[in-house]
Amino acid sequence: MSFASEPPRCFAVVPCAGVGLRAGAAGPKQYAALGGPSVVAHTLDALDAVAELTATLVVLSPDDTQFEQHAPRFAQQRGWAVRCGGATRAASVAGGLQALLERGAAANDWVLVHDAARCLLQPAWVQRLIAACVADDVGGLLALPLADTLKHAVGGRVDQTLPRADKWLAQTPQMFRLGLLQRALREAGDAVTDEASAVEALGLKPLLVPGDAENFKLTWPADFALAARLLETR
């Protein structure tokens, strides 16, 4: 498929090359079962339900042999699985952007980067982000205003309480132009933990789009139990 001559489109990139050590699972957390399907299968099903997305590209580790087993429907969905993941999230996303260009995407197309482990994603949240950002000069991300009191710790004890006004918890997807994001990641290096911070390092100010509390990232063992309960209520 070639998209270079068409109006800007939206693509999703899902970095899926991590090992998920903190989750306590027997293998990569994205392949853990959650109510039957795997974590990543839930994530990809939600993205596939977003009509505004032209395609989804999943970035796997070069030695990944499990993805097709744990996401059997992905072959019928709009997307590609590429084994070009790096040692960091930033490296995996950068590899995914290059893979999109090789498949006909253009520098001015939009890319929505989403965590494989945010598997409670709802299509409506993605559509909200697209609607808010598609006419924006920079792009933006789903995020939640910080509701809890924020503590700074030293040695496991409270050092000080920080003001929570104007502080947000970053979520995904994070939506930026492909060319802009590629440059931002190249200049920021592998240390950045999300795409927005790389774009911020260019002096730009991404748009904050209200997300949802259920759009959390499965990180710790307790997160899986909570996600399973929430899926049962849907």
Coil vs helix vs strand at 17: coil
- Out of 3-7, 102-106, 116-120, pick the least confident: 3-7
Position 200 pLDDT exceeds 50: yes
pLDDT at 6: 66
- 67, 64, 62, 75: which is closest to 39 by C-alpha? 67
Structural domain includes residue 29: yes
Structural domain includes residue 5: no
Coil vs helix vs strand at 130: helix
The residue among 24 and 151 whose pLDDT is bigger is 151
Structural domain includes residue 162: no
Mean per-residue pLDDT for 195-203? 98
Structural domain includes residue 17: yes
| Residues in the chain, overall count | 234
Structural domain includes residue 160: no
Structural domain includes residue 151: no
Structural domain includes residue 143: no
Across 61-113, the runs of DSSP E, i.e. the strands, are 79-82, 110-113
pLDDT at 110: 98
C-alpha 209: how far from chain center: 15
Domain containing 92: what range? 10-136+173-206+216-233
CB neighbour burial string for 14-44, b if at least 16 within 10 angstroms, e if fewer: bbbbbebeebebeebbbbbebeebbbbbbbb
* Residues ≥6 apart with Cβ < 8 Å to 154: none
Q: How far apart are CA 47 and CA 12, in angstroms?
A: 8
- Out of 17-21, 60-64, 112-116, pick the least confident: 17-21
Question: The domain spanning residue 21 has which CATH number?
Answer: 3.90.550.10
Position 4 pLDDT exceeds 50: no
**What is the count of structural domains for the chain?**
1
Position 12 pLDDT exceeds 90: yes
Structural domain includes residue 81: yes
The model's pLDDT over 44-65, given as tens digits with 9 standing for 90+, comes to 999 999 999 999 999 999 999 9
Mean per-residue pLDDT for 107-125? 98
- Which pTM was predicted? 0.93
